[in-house]
Amino acid sequence: MSRLVVVSNRVPLPDKAGNPPAGGLAVALHAALRERGGIWMGWSGKSTGEDEPGPLSIRENGAIQYALTDLTDRDVAEYYNGFANRVLWPICHSRIDLTEYARREMAGYFRVNRLFADRLVPLLRPDDVIWVHDYHLIPLAEELRRRGVRNRIGFFLHIPWPPADIFFSVPVYEAILRGLCAYDVVGFQTDYDVENFAGCLRREGVGEPLGGGRFRAFGRSFVAGDFPIGMETAEFAAIAAKSPDDRRIREMARSLGGRDLLIGVDRLDYSKGIPQRIEAYERFLRSAPEYMGKVIYLQVTPASRSEVPEYASMQETVASEAGRLNGALGTVDWVPMRYINRSIRRPVLAGLYRLAKVGLVTPLRDGMNLVAKEFVAAQDPEDPGVLVLSRFAGAARELDSALLINPHDAEGTAKAIQRALSMPLDERRERWDHMMKRLLSHDVVQWCADFMAHLEPPTHRFLPEPAP
Ligand code: G6P
């Protein structure tokens, strides 16, 4: 079996005992890397504070090598805080209004991709299979090809791919599109993303579908398709099932004083629709005042990308909206909303999901949104909570038994919250069963195997069955 080389902007490092960090993607990719042997390469998350990026630092853990590079302050500003998170992120989430395009930052993005390619080439063996992740590294395959790399290279985009008109508003869109077409397999989260990508090729007149998921563009052919990412469903469900014994969950349950819990868990990001969610919750309380004092909405929101101005201002907006809501509707013995700005460890999170009657996952746009899946997986099969899910999350393509809402429609979302809180047990069970079956049959291990089966060199894929 050929080695696997994973490249991503951030690298989830194992703890001192060599265990991978929690989270489906890290666990599944570590399992694949352990099985085949290989490398996980990426940014260390640090900057050198000097004019030159640091040397590649290699750390061994069994069959896996971690290859990490520090970047310069300028790289971080231009590549990460700049082009990746002020152009590609907003564009892919259909927010042209929030893009801040600067040629210097675009040059920094391509420069860091060249640096990654320069550093990766000496580590590669001819039959390694390379799997690149996410929007930070779209040009990497083209850079590797320029350096003579002939290996199979796959790419998975964790975020949405936008419609052509939106994508074309990036001044260097052609270089980005051509970069994607230098891979052998390009994976998207949903069929809608694949349609948008195919629409970009067609409208630009640079490529066409050949059928069966194959495309020809910029003089080469490759596969592009939807590979909706899954989670570690069974493991997470088992952790959640044990959570009622956890002291922290018992304390949380006590603090609710018999009130129903609604939960939202999101990185602080404008794509998550948190202010719109607070507005919908307020509308729900005002239109169904019998619930005042009877429900609590917990919003868990770790800060993110705080050096990007749009994120800093979202931080202020959410904090002030949460404060305003509590000031307007709270009483001396009840606050409608608890808002915390830090992340929560997965076992506790699993318990909180299970404690909640309603999961609020209402992004304005989201590639997949694994919180939606985690909420479902954590529920008690005998008495499951209800998922209120934005139709604009990739997860809605699979979890169509959730209460699907339009996050721009505060009244509609408010009604869905009320419906969720009053849904009869039979209906809750039926909806949950349907979603849980899907999550069990399409988990993250399956996702990884499916992508790898497409990426594997054809000779490996079509080996004849051994004679009986
Ligand atoms: C999204 C992206 C990931 C990214 C994560 C956290 O899920 O798809 O690539 O790692 O956000 O963002 P950060 O900028 O902190 O790495």
For residue 158 and ligand 1, the question of a CB distance below 6 A is answered with yes
For residue 321 and ligand 1, the question of a CB distance below 6 A is answered with no
Residue 131 CA to ligand 1 centre (angstroms): 17
Secondary structure string (H, E, C) spanning the chain = CCCEEEEEEECCCCCCCCCCCCCHHHHHHHHHHHHHCEEEEEEEEEECCCCCCCCCEEEEECCEEEEEEEECHHHHHHHHHHHHHHHHHHHHCCCHHHCCCCHHHHHHHHHHHHHHHHHHHHHCCCCCEEEEECHHHCCHHHHHHHCCCCCEEEEECCCCCCCHHHHCCCCCHHHHHHHHCCCCEEEECCHHHHHHHHHHHHHHCCEEEEECCEEEECCEEEEEEECCCCCCHHHHHHHHHHHHHCHHHHHHHHHHCCCEEEEEECCCCHHHCHHHHHHHHHHHHHHCHHHCCCEEEEEECCCCCCCCHHHHHHHHHHHHHHHHHHHHHCECCECCEEEECCCCCHHHHHHHHHHCCEEEECCCCECCCHHHHHHHHCCCCCCCCEEEEECCEHHHHCCCCCEEECCCCHHHHHHHHHHHHCCCHHHHHHHHHHHHHHHHHCCHHHHHHHHHHHHCCHHHHCCCCCCC
For residue 178 and ligand 1, the question of a CB distance below 6 A is answered with no
Tell which one of 10, 83, 268, 314 to mutate to probe ligand 1, the residue whose CB is within 8 A of the most ligand atoms: 10
The pLDDT assigned to 50 comes to 86
pLDDT reading at 460 higher than 60? no
Q: Catalytic one among 133, 136, 158, 442?
A: 158
Q: Among the atoms of ligand 1, which is closest to the Cα of residue 133?
A: 9
Tens digit of each residue's pLDDT (9 = 90 or more) over 377-392: 999 999 999 999 999 9
Q: Among the atoms of ligand 1, which is closest to the Cα of residue 304?
A: 15
With beta carbons less than 8 A apart as the criterion, state whether 388 and 431 touch.
no
The pLDDT assigned to 196 comes to 98
158 in active site: yes
Q: What is the mean pLDDT of residues 25-30?
A: 92
Q: Among the atoms of ligand 1, which is closest to the Cα of residue 159?
A: 8
pLDDT reading at 289 higher than 70? yes
Q: Among the atoms of ligand 1, which is closest to the Cα of residue 135?
A: 9
pLDDT reading at 435 higher than 80? yes
134 in active site: no
pLDDT reading at 107 higher than 50? yes
For residue 159 and ligand 1, the question of a CB distance below 6 A is answered with yes
Nearest C-alpha neighbor of 136 from the set 179, 177, 178, 84: 84
Residue 305 CA to ligand 1 centre (angstroms): 9
Tens digit of each residue's pLDDT (9 = 90 or more) over 160-200: 999 999 999 999 999 999 999 999 999 999 999 999 999 99
Residue 136 CA to ligand 1 centre (angstroms): 9
For residue 305 and ligand 1, the question of a CB distance below 6 A is answered with yes
- Residue having the nearest C-alpha atom to atom 7 of ligand 1: 158
Q: Catalytic one among 128, 134, 184, 366?
A: 366
Residue 467: pLDDT band with limits 50, 70, 90:
low
Residue 240 CA to ligand 1 centre (angstroms): 25
pLDDT reading at 315 higher than 80? yes
- Residue having the nearest C-alpha atom to atom 9 of ligand 1: 134
- Residue having the nearest C-alpha atom to atom 8 of ligand 1: 158
Least confident of 54-58, 246-250, 336-340: 54-58
Residue 77 CA to ligand 1 centre (angstroms): 16
Residue 184 CA to ligand 1 centre (angstroms): 24
Tell which one of 133, 134, 269 to mutate to probe ligand 1, the residue whose CB is within 8 A of the most ligand atoms: 134
Dihedral pair phi/psi, residue 364, rounded to 5°: -75, -30
Residue 41 CA to ligand 1 centre (angstroms): 16
The pLDDT assigned to 462 comes to 47
How far, in whole angstroms, is CA 283 from its chain's centroid? 29
